[in-house]
Chain A
């Protein structure tokens, strides 16, 4: 496993390979197995996105700011997955501080898409998606603030779930936008995601927004049939602006669902078109506040050659953050500053309510929503990273879900020009079990998720 990871360095999917830790944990798993233990994830190697703190293992968030940061504790997700028997083999590459949709903002260089190495893997959990797609690990963790699990899952042809806000603890997860961030699993199948989510989910006293609710048996929940399931087709997701061949793939996938007994109903999310502007106020506003902690005093990078404390802050932050992170800190600071707070921040919070209410109304008529995860297949490296606005618009279908706090999943639904296409399923609050069930039933009758990119 470690050898295979090292041999596939060209993808740049990993920032750190935790070889010693992996061998130690694998040995412990072997011993537990020999002693009769039989947990489903015992000895399963996984990779963690480099945004999860791992005690004693460098955690960079793909930033120069944290290039040498070694956390003194484990994130709750890391702790829980280890307790379930998982073996941590590596930390995956990502967009810097999870800000990006192509993995090109990483301080450690872009990740390449295993289906076509001139293409992006998506982002920000692009390293996790590429590693699973190339079969370098069977599963990985990701985080999703505006689509960062689902969009790379779609572009790399893997299955990825963003759980409901509050389902998985954010303790030890390096914060980007705290009212939107949520951690989740990425794997080949919905069934594997169900096992991984079962290990990750649950109440955590150390996260004030963690939900103290029962965690259903996601694995047992995979079995139910789909007879009578009402799938909502969002009018706005099948409109112009989406590559027509992507929509053709989606229509074929929806026919599969009809064959499984599901019924399609038309629904509308009239305010979802405002989600990108709304998000690009709220996420930067929260980020500008969260990233104020990187001051060169307590941990992380500190610049050299400063005049005084303020100059040290400015040089440290100017040198330690990359261009996209600085751009978002600037936008967020501006939106929160005196004179602009109501026009930008409060306005965006009101829009957030309208966007969330649209989902409540849509779910009166259906059980899940289905549509494209991303408007196009993986785009070429270096094409969109020079124009922030065109990059941001890429997340038009994924962002509304984070604003509303709902669960959503992307699963492989077909190919266009040899590149995978993802279908997004959106669920009611806390209904991720149903999403896994609906995805699993599709994967029982299709093999898109089982296709492997050439050479891997």
Chain B
């Protein structure tokens, strides 16, 4: 992976990386992709992708309200709140 690809992927993942990290990751991720590319040695034509160990249909539950955690307790762990809401930097000018 080159510097440009690292930059693009870091942006997609919303990861702020230092210059030093970007350099290190370019080399390390290239090595990991080298390991991963060993997959190409295996013929997989006609093989059905396996997404999950138990591929039976997802179970549905009854559409009824169940008691959850209170708003106050959930907000208690937030970095910033205001009037019972999560507070984030201004999005619209």
Q: Do A and B share a complex? A: yes
Chain A positions within 8 Å of B54 at CB level: 165-166, 209, 211, 405
Closest beta carbon of chain A to B5's beta carbon, Å: 8
CB of B83 closer than 8 Å to a CB of A: no
> In the bound complex, how far is the Cα of B91 from the Cα of A297, in angstroms?
13
> In the bound complex, how far is the Cα of B29 from the Cα of A388, in angstroms?
9
Chain B positions within 8 Å of A165 at CB level: 53-54
- Beta-carbon nearest neighbor of B45 in chain A: A350
Check B50–A356 contact: CB distance below 8 A.
yes
CB of A389 closer than 8 Å to a CB of B: yes
CB of A72 closer than 8 Å to a CB of B: yes
CB of A31 closer than 8 Å to a CB of B: no
Closest beta carbon of chain A to B90's beta carbon, Å: 8
CB of B31 closer than 8 Å to a CB of A: yes
Check A349–B59 contact: CB distance below 8 A.
no
Check A350–B76 contact: CB distance below 8 A.
no
Known: A317-B14, A389-B32. A69 touches B79 (CB 8 A): no
Known: A296-B79, A350-B47, A354-B47. A331 touches B32 (CB 8 A): yes
> In the bound complex, how far is the Cα of B41 from the Cα of A278, in angstroms?
12
CB of A237 closer than 8 Å to a CB of B: no
Chain B positions within 8 Å of A323 at CB level: 21
Check A389–B31 contact: CB distance below 8 A.
yes
Contacting residues of chain B (51-93) with chain A, CB-CB under 8 angstroms: 51-54, 58-59, 61, 69, 73-74, 76-80, 86, 88-91
Chain B positions within 8 Å of A280 at CB level: 32, 35-36
- Beta-carbon nearest neighbor of A282 in chain B: B51
One of B5, B32, B36, B79 near A297 (C-beta < 8 A): B79
Chain A positions within 8 Å of B6 at CB level: 330
Chain A positions within 8 Å of B9 at CB level: 330, 333-334, 337
Contact with A along B27-38 (1 / 0, CB 8 A): 011011111111
> In the bound complex, how far is the Cα of B89 from the Cα of A355, in angstroms?
47
Known: A337-B9, A352-B50. A330 touches B89 (CB 8 A): no
One of A70, A327, A344, A354 near B36 (C-beta < 8 A): A344
Check A302–B15 contact: CB distance below 8 A.
no
Check A330–B25 contact: CB distance below 8 A.
yes
Check A288–B39 contact: CB distance below 8 A.
no
- Beta-carbon nearest neighbor of A276 in chain B: B35
Known: A302-B80, A327-B29. A349 touches B53 (CB 8 A): no
**New A-B contacts (5) at CB < 8 Å, excluding given A298-B78, A327-B28:** A208-B59, A295-B14, A298-B74, A344-B36, A349-B49
27 A-B Cβ contacts within 8 A? A73-B69, A208-B58, A276-B35, A280-B32, A280-B36, A292-B14, A298-B77, A298-B86, A299-B77, A309-B91, A317-B13, A318-B18, A319-B16, A326-B21, A330-B10, A331-B29, A333-B9, A334-B5, A344-B39, A346-B49, A347-B39, A347-B44, A351-B39, A351-B42, A353-B50, A392-B32, A404-B53
Chain A residues within 8 Å of B, Cβ to Cβ = 69-70, 72-73, 164-166, 179, 205, 208-209, 211-212, 271, 274, 276-278, 280-281, 288, 292, 295-302, 306, 308-315, 317-319, 321, 323, 326-327, 329-331, 333-335, 337, 344, 346-354, 356, 388-389, 392, 404-405, 429
Closest 3 CB pairs of A and B: A405-B53, A318-B16, A349-B49
Chain B residues within 8 Å of A, Cβ to Cβ = 1, 5-6, 9-10, 12-18, 21, 25, 28-29, 31-42, 44, 47-54, 58-59, 61, 69, 73-74, 76-80, 86, 88-91
